[in-house]
Amino acid sequence: MAHSMPSVSWPAPSGDVRGQRHDIAAFEALFRTHYSQLCDYVYGYVRSRAVAQELVQDLFLRLWERALTPAGTLATSYLYTAARNRAVGHLRRERVAAAWAKSPSSVARAAPAGADEPLREHEVRDALERAVADLPERCRLIFTLSRYRSLSNAEIARMLCISVNTVEQQMWRALKTLRAKLAPYLQ
């Protein structure tokens, strides 16, 4: 099953990504500033919280080992590129593993019996997550930064080196797309 990844260009790094060697305070700051956003981003690919957390933690561990603490927009381009590579790598490994596994996964799909209300809630959540995950990559990133992380449009624009108008156009596009996808759940 071929699966082509959309390409996204990040602002070109304008300087050296090498930060101060093993400056734990700066490193912690970098981690805390970006952790949730990166988890959201990776989750959009892998759809598993545990895997998203693991991949993001691993990314920071490698940064530390290589004594890198990028700052500012450089951090954004570096971290998100690395995060996407890891997410894509993970999906590729998973596909290979799935191809090797003989039995189809249908056995595990027996619907759980009983209380239907929590189940419907689960169904809605699943639809919501899928709809967000299916947004075009950059659109999804902008939308999740705004919705989940409450960043202002100006902050998002600064972070991604784009204009506020572009952010707003993308937000509009995301909302329109989601409305179409989620129409059955809106009554």
Partner 1 sequence: MNEERDGPRIARYVAGRCTPDEAAEMRHWLAQNPARAELVNALVRVWELVRRVSVVWDVDGAWRALRRRLGPDHAFPLSRMERGTGGEARLRIWAVWQVAAVILVVCSMLTGVLVHRNRRSAVAPVREIATRRGQRATLRLPDGTRVDLGVASAIRYAPGYGGRARDVYLEGEAYFEVAPDPKKPFTVYAANAVTRDRGTKFGVSAYPGASQVEVVVVEGSVDLSGLVLGAADLGRLDRGGRLRIERGVDTAAWLGWRRDRLVFRNTPLRDALAQLGRWYDTDLQLGDSALGDYPLTASLHGEPLDKVLDLISAALNVRVVRRNSTILLYHRRPAP
**Can you give the binding site for partner 1, defined by CB under 8 A?**
14-15, 19-20, 22, 24-26, 28-33, 35-36, 39-40, 43, 49, 53, 56-57, 60-61, 64, 71-76, 115, 117-118, 124-125, 128-129, 132, 146-153, 155, 158-159, 165, 168-169, 171-173, 175-176, 178-179, 182, 185-186
Phi, psi for 66 (deg, rounded to 5): -95, 10
14 or 85: whose CB is closer to partner 1?
Answer: 14
Between the alpha carbon of residue 29 and those of residues 22, 37, 133, 148, the distances in Å are 13, 14, 28, 20
Tokens 């912690």: give the residue.
28
In the complex with partner 1, the residue whose CB is nearer, 104 or 112, is 112
Task: Answer for the pair 47, 129: CB distance below 8 angstroms, yes or no.
Answer: yes
The least CB distance from residue 85 to partner 1, in Å, is 19
Torsion angle, CA of 117/122/128/133, rounded to 10 degrees? Answer: -170
**Cβ of residue 155: shortest distance to partner 1, in angstroms?**
6
